[in-house]
Amino acid sequence: MLNLSSEQTLYLLLLTHCLVGSIAAVIAWRKGRPLGLWIFLGIFCGVAALLVALLMKTRVSVN
């Protein structure tokens, strides 16, 4: 078990949350969604945004 102070634990949780949000944004972007919107959603919604990004269907673009 890690012996972290409260401040270190907070930073670790914040870093993990932002990492999960960034992963959600990349997944959504690869599925055809706007990257900027999903970076915002990912950073503020974290795991919820990741779940939505994983479950949504790929957007098919008509050229």
What are the Cα distances from residue 25, in Å, to 7, 10, 60? 27, 22, 18
Q: Is the pLDDT of residue 61 over 90?
A: no
Is residue 6 a part of any domain in this protein? no
pLDDT for res 58:
93
Asked whether residue 62 is assigned to any structural domain, the reply reads no
User: How far apart are alpha carbons 39 and 54 in whole angstroms?
Assistant: 15
- Examine the pLDDT at 62 and tell me if it is beyond 70: no
Q: What is the pLDDT of residues 1-54, one digit of tens each?
A: 678 899 999 999 999 999 999 999 999 999 999 999 999 999 899 999 999 999
What range defines the domain where residue 17 resides?
11-55
For position 44, what pLDDT does the model report?
Answer: 92
At residue 42, φ and ψ (nearest 5 deg) are -65, -45
Count: domains in the chain: 1
Q: Is residue 1 part of a domain?
A: no
